[in-house]
Chains A and B, each alone.
Chain A
Amino acid sequence: MKHIKTVETRNLCESAKNGGCGECQTSCQSACKTSCGIANQKCENEQKESK
């Protein structure tokens, strides 16, 4: 596209299909300990949808 460049991202709607394995890190455990943010968590799902 001429006016818009799109970054490759994980489609959250698609992630509903195979998500929720729960193997990822608990959000603030061993890091900030005083706030919640999940965007910086790494997905550890071995069945993650392919792009």
Chain B
Amino acid sequence: MIHRYKLGGMNIVLDVNTGAVHAVDDVAYDLIGLYEERGRDDAVDAIYEKYKDDGVTRDDVAECYDEVTSLKDSGSLFTPDTFEPMAGELKARTSGVVKALCLHVAHTCNLNCEYCFASQGKFHGERALMSFETGKAALDFLVANSGTRRNLEVDFFGGEPLMNFDVVKRLVEYARSIEKEAGKNFRFTLTTNGVLIDDDVIDFANRECSNVVLSLDGRREVHDRFRVDYAGNGSFDKIVPKFQRLVEARGGRNYYMRGTFTHLNPDFLKDIETMLDLGFNELSMEPVVCAEGDPYALTADDMPIIFEQYEKLAELMIKRRREGRPFTFYHYMIDLSGGPCIYKRISGCGSGTEYMAVTPWGDLYPCHQFVGEEKFRLGDVWHGVTNKEIQGDFASCNVYAREECRDCWARLYCSGGCAANAYHATGSVKGVYKYGCELFRKRMECAIMAEVSRKFGDEP
């Protein structure tokens, strides 16, 4: 299976099953499109007819045909899918252990953002803070169930995790005290709205956290439309200087400035430009997650605008890289030569198997987006996973579990998509969130184009 597309002045051909990426000229682009439908002479004649007035000879086209054949014979074009029979086995190899927890240390928040998928941090339940004892039990559960995995990830999440900062600090101290003997390496991350950032938080985050995720939606008026306190005051002016201090103190690295765009600002490139103007260079901008019909939910009419924004974002990234002012965009980070193996690409995000969320009460859920959906409760940190049936549903999620993915060229880049998005869109974790797929495919086309440009465009 191949995927061909034109973007950024380039013709790109992907071989889906090997991951091979080719930049081709117009003749090769059209010839590859005909290659499997026509015989050699027919295909060469058709392409020669199309390009003969441009100075292309029949010998040129025939030579191009032989190049395509050579790539096919060497296994980097039109490669068949040989992974499906072993998909279950591949996933099983990565499913037996827990290696990451999302610790909901605070089911409460000091902002009141209407669009929050966590319903202002409460996850449709009561406000609560996680106790140290519960968090400690969660860390013990993680270590005990992590098998031979050395790197363990713990994200402090909420709500707003800094509303329970003392417990966060004590949990890190506890983890550091046990990791060496357990043969583990904890990687902590913190996701915060920034309101409570102070020097103590900055010192802690820069000493202990391998990454921090900072919530900023971009332009002041966009950010302050949703990200308000309980008195209705926007938070932009309060948090931006704090984010700038934190990012400067960590040397401008290992953070994401993460925004959300909605139906009300599908022109989100302006928000990314605002982030850049504020001095932030490690960026993420995500489509809102909400119920269909919400006034800010993305609609079909938004799609062309968003696609154009993604293309312009890729162009901006290339331009600034050439100018020596690079920035990163989470979804455009792609390591073609050293990216994930086929196991990872088939298995997906690991929700419910190697990744779980822990509520303030110690309950386990398949991921942070399922918290509050009682039927998805897996168990708790003291007794482990007891709801094996639900866990089985997640364990059997792989890239071949969804019929729609079989014909999708992007399946080994997304690995079947987000189970929570699928559930909220279709009622099944093995469903497909159509808008999400469309956006993902567009982002991957842009990401690969930007990387091909870097490889062949004499860029740093």
Contacts and interface: CB of A to CB of B under 8 A. Distances in A.
B415 A29 contact: no
Contacts of B149: 22-23
A51 B335 CA distance: 14
A44 B155 CA distance: 19
A4 to B, nearest CB: 5
Contact of B456 (A5, A25, A30): A5
A38 B213 CA distance: 18
Contact of B284 (A11, A15, A31): A31
B340 interface: yes
Interface string B9-33: 0000100011111111101100000
B17 A13 contact: yes
Given A7-B455, A12-B345, A29-B155, A40 B334 contact: yes
A10 B333 contact: no
Chain A CB within 10 A, most for which of B151, B332, B340, B417? B340
Nearest to A16: B342
Interface string A11-46: 111011011101111111111111111111111110
A23 B451 CA distance: 25
A28 B256 CA distance: 12
B289 A5 contact: no
B354 A22 contact: yes
B189 interface: yes
B289 A2 contact: no
Given A12-B342, A26-B100, A32-B330, A38 B18 contact: no
A43 B210 CA distance: 17
B22 A30 contact: no
A3 B26 CA distance: 8
Nearest to B455: A7
Contact of A7 (B286, B289, B436, B451): B451
Given A26-B354, A38-B414, A3 B27 contact: yes
A11 B123 CA distance: 42
Contacts of A30: 153, 155, 189, 191, 210-211, 213, 256
Q: Is the interface of A mostly helix, strand, loop or mixed?
A: loop
A7 B350 contact: no
A42 to B, nearest CB: 6
A4 B76 CA distance: 12
B9 to A, nearest CB: 14
Interface string B275-296: 0000000001011010000000
B121 interface: no
Given A1-B67, A2-B64, A36-B415, A10 B337 contact: yes
Contact of B21 (A7, A37, A43): A7
B122 interface: no
Contacts of B289: 34
A38 B413 contact: yes
B189 A7 contact: no
B159 interface: no
29 contacts: A1-B67, A1-B70, A3-B25, A4-B24, A5-B24, A7-B21, A7-B22, A7-B23, A10-B336, A10-B338, A12-B17, A12-B341, A15-B341, A22-B99, A25-B153, A31-B330, A33-B213, A33-B369, A36-B348, A37-B443, A38-B340, A38-B344, A40-B332, A40-B335, A41-B339, A41-B340, A43-B335, A48-B338, A51-B337
List the 3 closest A-B pairs by CB distance, nearest first.
A19-B341, A30-B189, A20-B343
Interface of B: 13, 17-25, 27-28, 63-64, 67-68, 70-71, 75-76, 79, 82-83, 86, 90, 93-94, 97, 99-100, 102, 117, 149-151, 153, 155, 157, 189, 191, 210-211, 213, 256, 258, 284, 286-287, 289, 330-345, 348-350, 354-355, 367-369, 412-421, 436, 440, 443-444, 447, 451-452, 455-456
